[in-house]
Amino acid sequence: MSTEGNGYKSGSNLEKVLKAGHFAFTGELGPPRGANTEEVRHKASFLKGVVDSVNITDNQTAMVRMSSWAASLLLLQEGLEPNFQMVCRDRNRLAMQADILGASAHGIRNMLCLSGDHQQFGDHPQAKGVFDVDSMQLIKIVKQMRDDGKFLSGADLDGSPKIFIGAAANPFADPFEWRVHRLAKKVEAGCDFIQTQCIYNMEKFRKWVQQANDMGLTEKVYILAGVTPMKSVGMAKYMKSKVPGMDVPDEIIERLQGAGKGKVAAEGIKIACEQIEEFKEMKGVHGVHLMAIEWEHKVPEIAEQAKVLPRPVVE
């Protein structure tokens, strides 16, 4: 459905790139634990011209940070396109809809709808988690606001938000056979694009994409494969054993261990680039979401090595 008469749902750069059939490349930026705007601008400087859109995380790992919509506005000022993340943990349906309208009013055109890490993980474990609606329901709320011009309550909006709707998918969590059905549910709820959990188990990922292809889902939604280069053996081991929903095969750890002193990070980037090469050719995958955690300055180098530059410009 067009809201602007140009065939676009939101007109975001990410939407244009994907719709034109280009292989998308998105990045991520975590807002600071304070009001330090320079920190945001500094991190953003590495991503400019290198990615199509930048995910701005929303109190990730339940640690309080500069709000994601505010950091998104800083990115707009810097000439980058934000992908405004919103979690269900911190807002009820009133605050969510208000922020969706406010974000759109200020030119934010992408959103990623997430459940959010449980507050118990963060720096305020005593907090009352909201979870008034879940991520699936949030997707549908944004879609209804955009396409039907209505609040969740059914009341008419005075001006619809223009948002390209994103959601997350974890192809690895148990039960595996349910994962593709959960994706189908998100597509049914109305999401336009998916960014997956960090992928290390390629075999399992191939299987999941195949299932999504077989169900016709990859024709209805753009899939961006999640990639996080390993910086160290310790990071790989931590991700394997400590991060819920993460699937890190032993081969990855062994390969990093075999890289030799001082060469582990380079090996991690090499693995990531090999993955990206495969994703470019994989039917049903429309791009890559690079989550270079606290490694923003390395993104240009990774993008170069992954041969995803220059980024397309779609008018």
Residues that bind other proteins (CB under 8 A): 88-89, 93, 115-118, 120-121, 129, 131-137, 140-141, 152, 168-170, 173-175, 178, 181-182, 184-185, 188-189, 197, 244-245
Distances (CA, A) of 304 to 20, 51, 158, 170: 22, 11, 44, 27
How far is CA 165 from its chain centroid?
A: 11
Nearer to other proteins, 20 or 121 (CB): 121
Nearer to other proteins, 45 or 120 (CB): 120
Give the integer Cα–Cα distance in Å for 3 and 296. Answer: 34
Query: What is the number of alpha carbons within 13 Å of residue 126 lying toward its C-beta?
Result: 0
Minimum Å distance from CB 28 to other proteins? 15
Give the integer Cα–Cα distance in Å for 263 and 139. Answer: 42
Nearer to other proteins, 134 or 254 (CB): 134
Minimum Å distance from CB 50 to other proteins? 26
Nearer to other proteins, 138 or 306 (CB): 138
Nearer to other proteins, 48 or 181 (CB): 181
Minimum Å distance from CB 121 to other proteins? 8
Asked whether the beta carbons of 57 and 68 are under 8 A apart, the reply is: yes
Q: What angle do CA 229, 286, 147 make, to 5 degrees?
A: 120
Asked whether the beta carbons of 193 and 166 are under 8 A apart, the reply is: yes
- Extract the tokens encoding 32: 């600071």
Nearer to other proteins, 249 or 312 (CB): 249
Minimum Å distance from CB 180 to other proteins? 11
Helix (H/G/I), strand (E/B), else coil: 308: coil
Minimum Å distance from CB 131 to other proteins? 5
Minimum Å distance from CB 188 to other proteins? 6
